[in-house]
Amino acid sequence: MARKKKETKEQARKIDTSNVVGLVGSTTEQAISETLELNYMPYAMSVIVSRAIPEIDGFKPSHRKLLYTMYKMGLLKGSRTKSANIVGAVMKLNPHGDAAIYETMVRLARGNETLLHPFVDSKGNFGKVYSRDMAYAAHRYTEAKLDPICAELFRDIDSDTVDMVDNYDGSMKEPVLLPTTYPNILVNPNLGIAVGMASNICSFNLREVCETAIALMENPDHDILQTMPGPDFSTGGELLFDENVTREIFATGRGSFKLRAKWRYLKEGNRIEVYEIPYTTTVEAIIDKVVDLNKGGKIREIVDIRDETDLHGLKLTIDLKRGADPEKLMQRLMRMTSLQDSFGCNFNILIGATPRVMGIREILEEWTAWRTQCVMRRIYYQVQKKQDRLHLLKGLERILLDIDKAIRIIRETELESEVIPNLMIGFGIDEIQANYVAEIKLRNINKEYILKQTKAISELEKEIAELNSTLKSPKKLQNVIIAELKAVSDQFGQPRKTEIVYASVDMEPEEEEDDTPDYPVTLFVSREGYLKKITAQSLRMSGEQKFKEGDSLAFSVETTNKAEIIVFTDKFQCYKTRLSEFDDSKASLLGDYLPQKLSFEPEERVVQVILPGDYKGFVLFFYANGKAAKVPLSAYETKTNRKKLTGAYCDKSPLRSVIALNTDEQVAVYTTDGRATVFSTAQLLPKTTRSTQGVNVMSLKKKAELSHAVRLEESGITNPSRYRTRTLPNAGALLKPEDAPDKQISFDI
């Protein structure tokens, strides 16, 4: 019995249940690629297309389903109803549970202050976008209806302007998109996180967006910055305007805007009041950070900080110590807390079920094309309705020729089913017209009534002709859209909430007092990119330096804890940091792995690490194609604490070596076919830009490349005169065995 139990357990261990497919109790093996294709990809596409990424009307499906349900409930013109009623009705279109639906409503509500132009007119506690801890009330306590601006979302939705599809159970129809009469995609912010991609669209001022859309329709070369200088956020604050950054974001759809809080100093009470904060932060986050800084001794001028937000709006009060300078304090707080923050833009939008990252111009062009289709569909619908009406009146006009004949035909027809055919035969009209005539009330069968009805024929024909003329004219269609945009701008436009601060009036941040301790250290960098910073005392007590298997020392140098380093990589980038950012290490440890410490991109590797010092010298770049560039170190000096510089050097050829120089020196350059040349760096003229291609220093043989370059004293060459040259480029001389660089240490590229 015990043996049987043991065998059963052994068999159970052998069963692989990691890929169970089919009926319970059956198992089949499935390749991971097939699992991803059959199971994961449909899920990922569903999240991208049907949940997280907004479409050209500016809504995600959850928003659209909620607003459309409220519209069908008559909440555009009616009075408010309990939010619980709305949530229950929305579940007919969006079966994701009441919590998810209500959270969507909260974000769209006026009380939450998330949107510049809220879609839900709310009553009750809906929380605040600028508060992390202020919870919204349950849906049984709050009330809501649609805001008046929603009339622009649903205008002519019943005139076949957009496609309607079945809901999830086929019991009712819902719109694929909402026919918004203005570019809502840019007016209200939208954040969505999908699978493998995301979207983060900032809000812009409604009036500015409408003006820009009109200007681009009238002049495709219009400068967008002239009418739309930057985003506008519901929480106000200040936008630090940088024209180059703004133009790049407007062109590519990616980048970040800098925002900062608005504040005032009150002499009475010696306090600062912050009354508008960046859209990306919360009051609690700011308070927590200030408290941490105060406890750490980095901010000593503050006595107390508290949240005094009330019905009049946000207010964060900071009590100061006597003699504290409010201007300098706020400059430091802007730098050290989220009182100054960035909004990262990623204008990723679904266009025809395909996610696309677009700039402002492209978004407005796509919206204009889509809105043009909506207007054309509306006009087609109107033409069809008018033609149907005209067709009926044409039949009525035939009856006017002989009313008595029509009465006689109806009176003399014995069977009801033959009335319509007899009218069709008697007046030469079709069945639809005959039905219309037959349904006219007896009191209306007189010449006066029929003449009144048929007078509309000429008017209808004129209206149909005008509508058809509009359909055939792109300019007239454009004028229709422009007129709608102007009407929306005049009715719902409002002044900017976020003030734009230009460089001319922007306050320069005060240099932060550097209290980082400074002491001598020795820097060790390995070939694979490990960095160790060891103090003099620890170095005296240390034994042999430890490296990862297969790794070795690239170089070591004596410096200080405050020294700055620049790490060049093989992705044409460099990373700047200070040694004080690294913990003191020991010889027995591997040290910090630079790609991980500095957040390298995938598969990005270290090429060289240099210490720029006071940025007075030069940096030499040697490329595989035999070229070298001499760039001033000052090209890498930045006023702000930028951690990463793109375009750090030329991307036309792989980088082989980087050498930092304080003064001109002799360098030895090697090729892959066993040649070398020695020359003075004074022969290279400095270039002004980092991305310069440089000049040829080696005339390479076929299939040969420049392999690396080092200072002459580090080369091990015993007879430099054999390889020295005064003219560049040079083919170099064949290396003798005693001059071979087998003892050289460099980074593997």
pTM attached to this predicted model:
0.66
CB-facing half-sphere around the CA of 631: CA atoms within 13 A? 24
Mean pLDDT of 605-623: 89
Q: Which domains does the chain have, with CATH numbers?
A: 2-35 (no CATH), 59-179 (3.90.199.10), 262-338 (3.30.1360.40), 369-475 (1.10.268.10), 612-739 (2.120.10.90)
Q: How far apart are CA 199 and CA 51, in angstroms?
A: 12
Per-residue pLDDT band at 317 (split at 50, 70, 90): very high
Q: Which of 123, 182, 124, 147 is nearest to 66 (CA)?
A: 147
Per-residue model confidence (pLDDT) at position 747: 56
Per-residue pLDDT band at 4 (split at 50, 70, 90): very low
Q: Which of 207, 238, 201 is nearest to 57 (CA)?
A: 201
- Spatial neighbors of 733 by CB under 8 A, at least 6 apart, are 675, 676, 677, 722, 723
Helix 360-400 × helix 456-472 angle, to 10°: 150
Per-residue model confidence (pLDDT) at position 207: 96
CB-facing half-sphere around the CA of 406: CA atoms within 13 A? 28
Dihedral sign from CA coordinates of 579, 585, 586, 590? negative
Per-residue model confidence (pLDDT) at position 509: 46
Average per-residue pLDDT for the chain: 87
- Unique residue bearing structure tokens 């790609």: 595
Per-residue model confidence (pLDDT) at position 561: 87
Mean pLDDT of 623-647: 85
Residue type, 286: I
Torsion angle, alpha carbons of 746, 747, 748, 749, to 10: -120
User: Does pLDDT of 311 surpass 70?
Assistant: yes
Per-residue model confidence (pLDDT) at position 195: 84
User: Does pLDDT of 647 surpass 60?
Assistant: yes
Residue 527 and residue 745 in contact, taking contact as beta carbons nearer than 8 Å: yes
Token pair recorded at residue 365:
């062009």
Per-residue model confidence (pLDDT) at position 437: 82
Mean pLDDT of 115-139: 94
Per-residue pLDDT band at 74 (split at 50, 70, 90): very high
Q: Do β-strands 262-266 and 592-593 pair in parallel, antiparallel, or remain unpaired?
A: unpaired
Helix, coil or strand: residue 156: coil
Q: How far apart are CA 148 and CA 194, in angstroms?
A: 31
**Local structure of residue 726 (DSSP, 8 states):** S
Per-residue pLDDT band at 201 (split at 50, 70, 90): very high
Residue type, 243: E
Per-residue model confidence (pLDDT) at position 513: 52
Per-residue model confidence (pLDDT) at position 14: 44
Q: Residue 729: is the preceding peptide bond cis (ω within 30°)?
A: yes
- Spatial neighbors of 230 by CB under 8 A, at least 6 apart, are 204, 239, 241, 246, 257, 498, 500
Residue 67 and residue 133 in contact, taking contact as beta carbons nearer than 8 Å: no
Per-residue model confidence (pLDDT) at position 436: 85
Mean pLDDT of 622-639: 89
348-357 tens-digit pLDDT: 999 988 999 9
Mean pLDDT of 393-398: 83
Q: How far apart are CA 735 and CA 82, in angstroms?
A: 88
From the list 43, 141, 502, 519, the catalytic residue is 141
Per-residue pLDDT band at 742 (split at 50, 70, 90): low
Mean pLDDT of 38-65: 86
CB-facing half-sphere around the CA of 595: CA atoms within 13 A? 14
Residue 242 and residue 501 in contact, taking contact as beta carbons nearer than 8 Å: no
Q: How far apart are CA 481 and CA 188, in angstroms?
A: 20
Per-residue model confidence (pLDDT) at position 89: 94
Most confident option among 28-37, 194-203, 474-483, 699-708:
474-483
User: Does pLDDT of 323 surpass 50?
Assistant: yes
Instruction: Out of 75-89, 132-146, 401-415, 510-524, pick the least confident.
Output: 510-524
Instruction: Out of 10-19, 453-462, 575-584, 707-716, pick the least confident.
Output: 10-19
Chain-centroid distance, C-alpha 550 = 42
- Cβ burial, residue 108 (10 Å; 0-12/13-18/19+): buried
179-199 tens-digit pLDDT: 999 999 999 999 988 888 889
What percentage of the chain reaches a pLDDT higher than 90?
50
User: Does pLDDT of 55 surpass 50?
Assistant: yes
Most confident option among 46-50, 173-177, 637-641, 691-695:
173-177
Per-residue model confidence (pLDDT) at position 514: 53
Q: 12 vs 258, which has greater pLDDT?
A: 258
557-600 tens-digit pLDDT: 899 988 899 999 988 889 998 888 888 888 888 889 999 888 88
434-458 tens-digit pLDDT: 888 888 777 777 777 777 777 888 8
> How far, in Å, are 724, 726, 744 from residue 736 at the CA level?
14, 21, 15
Q: Tally helices (H) and strands (E) across the chain.
A: 21, 33
- Cβ burial, residue 498 (10 Å; 0-12/13-18/19+): buried
Instruction: Out of 210-224, 432-446, 668-682, 684-698, pick the least confident.
Output: 432-446
Count the residues in the chain.
749
Instruction: Out of 10-14, 231-235, 296-300, pick the least confident.
Output: 10-14
Residue 573 and residue 580 in contact, taking contact as beta carbons nearer than 8 Å: no
Per-residue pLDDT band at 23 (split at 50, 70, 90): very low
141 catalytic? Reply is yes
Mean pLDDT of 151-156: 94
- Supply φ then ψ for residue 526, to 5 degrees: -95, 170
Chain-centroid distance, C-alpha 12 = 50
The radius of gyration of the chain's CA atoms, rounded to the nearest angstrom, is 37
Q: How far apart are CA 400 and CA 444, in angstroms?
A: 12
- Unique residue bearing structure tokens 């919360």: 282
Residue 518 and residue 711 in contact, taking contact as beta carbons nearer than 8 Å: no
Per-residue pLDDT band at 640 (split at 50, 70, 90): low
User: Does pLDDT of 309 surpass 60?
Assistant: yes
User: Does pLDDT of 12 surpass 70?
Assistant: no
Which own/partner contact pairs does 30-34 have at CB distance under 8 Å and 24+ positions apart? none
- Unique residue bearing structure tokens 């054309």: 376
User: Does pLDDT of 8 surpass 80?
Assistant: no
Instruction: Out of 161-165, 264-268, 296-300, 477-481, pick the least confident.
Output: 296-300
- Cβ burial, residue 550 (10 Å; 0-12/13-18/19+): exposed
> How far, in Å, are 246, 361, 697 from residue 249 at the CA level?
5, 11, 39
User: Does pLDDT of 494 surpass 90?
Assistant: yes
Chain-centroid distance, C-alpha 282 = 20
Residue 429 and residue 393 in contact, taking contact as beta carbons nearer than 8 Å: no
